Each structure stands twice: as structure tokens, then as C-alpha cells.
Amino acid sequence: MTIYPAIDLLEDRAVRLRQGDPSRLTRFGDDPVAVARGWVDQGAAWLHVVDLDGALSGVPRHLALIERICRSVAAPVQVGGGLRTLSDLDAVFEAGAARAILGTAALDAAVLGAALDRFGHRIAVALDARDGLVAIRGWRDTASMAVVDAAAALAGAGAPRFIYTNVARDGMLTGPDLDGLASLRAAVRAPVVLSGGIASAADVVAAARAGAEGVVIGRALYDGRLSLGEALRVVEGYASAR
């Protein structure tokens, strides 16, 4: 299982939001490139970078900063936030991203199909849930579609990987949504990365046992509740014990 330290970009800074609300913001670094290097120096095999300004506006806003991050670390970077068109995907891959995350745009069959035709396994689909429904447009709106139904349709269209976030748990340190993960894994065969709510090493192990391919960890790492080294060790221990 892969541990993805999260780096959320807002106004050129590394921040964390609670439940995706920009009014509930904590800044964790004025130099996101240094933050990225720090996580990789501590052993991160991947980074998870989200352009929050892009997610809220629908247009990527931090491509230059994302490029600096990608070029400054040895680890691959998956990037999301405001990627709605093939041109956006071209731009983020040119910036050095190893994987691009489609959110709202993935619900458009034409966009998803074209993205998969061009980029294949380098695409991941974000499934963001609010009360069991799909949250869209930077989590400001909710579609009238159940997350499980959306997952099944997207998997049928060829989506190679999902990143699942329960909005209510994001940044709240209340534990991951293991029930939601279980429902998704029952609906799709594609791997699922779990995001939102991870607060401890026990949460990481629980996600691994529930079948998550990886976990995105943000606030717990930045607050010091969980060190990246500890998260990596428990994953290694779990794998060795299987």
C-alpha cells in the first residue's frame, strides 16, 4: 500500500482545509517545493498535490508551481484540481505529473473517454462523497448520483484507478470512511486510494486491511499526530505479516 503525503496549494502556499471549506484553512508552508522535498526526504514514494485554486475556479492555477515541485523531487507526483479538458491534462503532464486526477470532468463520458484514450493508466478518477452522493466543482455542489453508481459507471468506461474521499471526514482527523471504501470495492475491480480522516497508524492499518491500494494523508502528518516514518513502517509491517 502506498502512502501519499498531501500537498494542497492555495495562493502559492501549502495549506489544509477542513471538509474542503476555504474559510477553515490552516497554512502549513509558504514554500510548497520545500514541503515536497521534505516528504520525499522522509521516504515518500509518491506525492499527492491538489491545486485548490484550480478546483474552485475550474481552471488550473498553479501549473508553474506544480512544475517546480515535480522537477524538484525524485518521487512521482499525482496532481488534481481544476483539470477539466484535454488541454488541462496535456499541461499538467508537461509540468511533470506522473498521474492526473479527473474529478468533475470524469462525469462527462466524452472527456473521460478521450482522456483514457490518450493517457490510459496515467489517469485516476476522484470520487468525492457527500452524504453518499458525488460532490463536484471543488466540493461546492452535489450531483444527484450515488457515489457507488458513479463508480460502477466510470469503471465500466475504463477508469483504471479511483481516489475516494468522504468530504465530511476530510481534514477532521475522525478516521477514514471504511464503509464507503468497502462499498466501492464491492462495486468496482479497479484499485481505490482512500483519502480523508486518517489520524493514526491504526487508521493506516485499517485502510490496508479494508483493501485500499493507498492512503492520502494530510492533516495528521502536518500536525505531527502521525509521522510519515511511522506510517511507512506500519505498512511495511502489515505487508510482511500477510
Please say if the pLDDT value at position 240 is more than 70.
yes
195 Cβ contact list (under 8 Å, min separation 6) = 4, 6, 48, 163, 164, 165, 170, 215, 216
pLDDT tens digits for range 40-54: 999 999 999 999 999
- Alpha-carbon distance of 33 to 48, in angstroms, equals 13
The rounded radius of gyration (Å) of the Cα atoms in the chain is 16
Q: What is the CATH number of the domain that holds 76?
A: 3.20.20.70
Please say if the pLDDT value at position 229 is more than 70.
yes
Question: How would you class 137 by CB atoms within 10 Å of its CB: exposed for 0-12, middle for 13-18, buried for 19 or more?
Answer: middle
pLDDT tens digits for range 83-94: 999 999 999 999
Q: Domain containing 225: what range?
A: 2-241
What is the share, in percent, of the chain residues with pLDDT greater than 70? 98
188 and 218 Cβ atoms separated by less than 8 Å: no
- Alpha-carbon distance of 138 to 165, in angstroms, equals 12
Residue 73 C-alpha cell reads as 523531487
What is the total count of domains within the chain? 1
Please say if the pLDDT value at position 139 is more than 80.
no
Residue 89 C-alpha cell reads as 491534462
Q: What is residue 188's predicted lDDT score, i.e. its pLDDT?
A: 96
Please say if the pLDDT value at position 158 is more than 90.
yes
pTM of structure: 0.94
Q: Which residues are catalytic?
A: 8, 128
Residue 52 C-alpha cell reads as 485548490
Residue the block writes with cell 502512502? 3
